[in-house]
Amino acid sequence: MNYSYFPIQVRQCEIGASTFVAADSVVPTNPDPVSPCKLIESEIEVRVGFQIYAMTLMTVIGWFLLAVFLPTGMQGIPFDLAAQWVNRPRPMNESDFNYAKAELAKKV
């Protein structure tokens, strides 16, 4: 679990006695038997430290929890909006206002 593999492609060209290729020369990219360039496909094995492993594990768990709880919260939005509309402040008539004002004055 602490190793990661990355696929790579290596092009190795040998033209003449040197392994270096001039910048203006055309290098064929197709795997041709007469081509001076060989295409080698390989993998690089990279060891992953505990910090990267732990961070990856927490990220996967976080995405899983997000996928579970986000739809739950989205389903609650219409109910919260309906509850806010039902409990919205309404204008009071003058007699109710005076009664509420007197009750508040008694408490104070």
- The one-digit pLDDT tens for each residue of the chain (108 residues) are 678 889 998 877 766 656 666 777 676 666 666 666 777 889 999 888 888 888 989 999 999 999 999 988 888 899 999 999 999 988 999 999 999 999 999 999
Q: Do residue 41 and residue 54 come from a single domain? A: no
33 shares a domain with 70: no
What is the pTM (predicted TM-score) of this model?
0.41
Closest CA to 91 of 100, 104, 83: 100
73 and 42 within one domain: no
Residue 49: which residues within 8 A CB-CB, separation 6 or more? 2
- Same domain? For 6 and 59 the reply is no
Number of independent structural domains in the chain: 2
Return the structure tokens found at 57.
């594990």
Label the pairing between strands 3-13 and 37-47: antiparallel
Judgement on whether residues 5 and 18 belong to the same structural domain of the protein:
yes
The Cα–Cα gap between 27 and 20 comes to 12
Task: For 84-98, give one letter per residue: b (16+ CB within 10 A) or e.
Answer: eeeeeeeeeeeeeee
36 and 71 share one domain? no
Claim to verify: residue 61 and residue 82 sit in the same structural domain: yes
| Residue 21: per-residue pLDDT | 66
Give the pLDDT of residue 32: 62
Is there a single domain that holds both residue 63 and residue 89?
yes
Give the pLDDT score at 81.
93
Task: Name the maximum alpha-carbon separation found in the chain.
Answer: 106
Close Cβ partners of 19 (under 8 Å, ≥ 6 residues apart): 12, 13
Residues of the domain holding 29: 1-48
The pLDDT of residue 19 is 62
